[in-house]
Amino acid sequence: RLKSTAAQLGQGNLAARTKIPPSSNIGSLAAVFDTMANDIEQLLNQQRDLLNAVSHELRTPLTRLDFGLALALSDDLPAASRERLQGLVAHIRELDELVLELLSYSRLQNPAQTPERVEVVLDEFIDSILGSVDDELENPDIVIDVVLDCAVERFTLDPRLTARALQNLLRNAMRYCERRIQVGVKVCPRGCEICVDDDGIGIPVDQRERIFEPFYRLDRSRDRATGGFGLGLAISRRALEAQGGTLTAQASPLGGARFRLWLPS
């Protein structure tokens, strides 16, 4: 029971306790373990609550600043002043985007959140996701292929969480590919596999796990213009894990990176 509880805690079930009676031969050990589990649960809940509170509080002054600068830009201004104000607006909107990403990540950390289960038509689902990121494709020469290898056309998943994960993976591929991105979908009795491949420079083997850590960015993407905030891949993994799935990084047959998304049936 102690071993099982330790495994559950490791998988994110912070409410797991041994419930071993004090009269047991390992009663004192179990009591210390349960106390430790209580402390960990309280600490992580406090951290999550603080992140939520700070993020919500930040949005109010950011909105005021954005509105104030928009009013200032409506006046007749010298070109240099207008350019400086437009730069400030861009920085404020970047901060607002970061706050939204933090809130998204914080919500996905909540073990009480139950994923929605909806049957979707896979080709239509993938098409809708591609359509949602199509406007962000800066290079018109980039080709996105979709390869469906499905004995069935439908699969049950959480459409909101899965779409969020795939959107982040596609945006990542758009940043680093040369000319080609491929989305491959396979369904078998055990589950659904979706792979997002690109023909970019790939990810070093020793960093394929670290890229899923919040705020971690590879050296090649230290520039915010290309590297984002370092939260997209962390959010994608949490969105899959919330559904009992996985997200891993591998080498792609196209020469760049492959992100393998797996959802169980």
> What residues are annotated to the active site?
56
What does the block give as tokens for 127?
């098409």
Distance CA 144, CA 134 (A): 10
Which amino acid makes up residue 172? N
Please, what sign has the CA dihedral across residues 94, 95, 100, 102?
positive
Round the CA-based radius of gyration of the chain to a whole number and report it.
Answer: 22
Task: Decide: 243 and 115 in contact? Cβ < 8 Å.
Answer: yes
Nearest to 201 by CA among 136, 261, 260, 252: 252
> Cα–Cα–Cα angle for 216, 222, 226, nearest 5°?
105
